[in-house]
Structure 1
């Protein structure tokens, strides 16, 4: 299996794992839901987890891969405020936790670029 064939499946796996984690340990995600959103943090935790699972399924299927990968790129941009909230909230925590929170911020850009690349490669292969 070539790198270009593995890349979408790795991205799908990452999204599936993250989506499942939202249901396995929702409290961890509830804490980072921005306060200005309507509804409860738990609802947003479950919605974002379900979206990640749906994106994973869409990226795993070649037929829906281009659209799902573009949606994943937009999703990664959309959840960035939660990562900012986590970094702000965790700024006084011990160094390992603080490093985790700060480390998530620059990670969003490679995720967006990865998803866009998957979309582009899937479109070009079609």
Structure 2
């Protein structure tokens, strides 16, 4: 009788895109913990304990980053990273909307540039989500 082998879904390799996403998460997560006031303003006002939510999201980003880098945790970290990116998207939209008001002032070039950056960032969520899902093995 022939021996059968169990087919398993191998852990996706650690590629440049996954390393980049992990680096982004490590940087952003650290900033959440060191300078939480930067992010408090984009937490919806209906949510309680905004500072604590900023800390939690920072820790989540760091945990996802470290998980993406290790082969044993890459699959679950990829899914968690995709969920995290989807979860914070409304805050990124709020940041752009809030900065749109400031950018309307004719004499404030810095606000215009920052607003442009926040708008440019929004469509970048999709490639980051795709990278996270590839790291999870859900996309090829």
- Among candidates 95, 102, 112, match of residue 86 of structure 1: 95
> Which structure carries more helix by proportion?
1
- Deviation string 1:35-80 (CA, Å, 9 cap, x unpaired) is 222x221111100000001111111110010110111011100100
Is the CA contact 2:14–2:69 (under 8 Å) kept in the aligned structure 1?
no
Is the CA contact 2:32–2:39 (under 8 Å) kept in the aligned structure 1?
yes
SS in 2 for 1:92: helix
1:27 and 2:37 matched:
yes
Is the CA contact 1:90–1:98 (under 8 Å) kept in the aligned structure 2?
yes
**Higher normalized contact order (CA 8 Å, seq sep 6+, divided by chain length):** 2
Matching residue of 1:12: 22
Matching residue of 1:67: 76
How far did 1:92 drift? 2.0
Unpaired segments ≥5 residues, structure 1: none
CA distance in 1, matches of 2:125, 2:34: 23
Matching residue of 2:127: 110
How far did 1:33 drift? 0.7
How far did 1:110 drift? 1.1
1:119 and 2:136 matched:
yes
SS in 2 for 1:91: helix
How far did 1:20 drift? 0.3
User: Judging changes above 3 Å, is the alpha-carbon distance between structure 1 residues 40 and 97 closer, same or farther for their aligned structure 2 residues?
Assistant: same
Structure number with greater Rg is 2
How far did 1:7 drift? 3.1
**4+ residue segments displaced more than 4 Å:** none
CA distance in 1, matches of 2:73, 2:137: 13
User: Judging changes above 3 Å, is the alpha-carbon distance between structure 1 residues 34 and 8 closer, same or farther for their aligned structure 2 residues?
Assistant: same
| Aligned-residue CA RMSD (Å) | 2.0
Is the CA contact 1:16–1:53 (under 8 Å) kept in the aligned structure 2?
yes
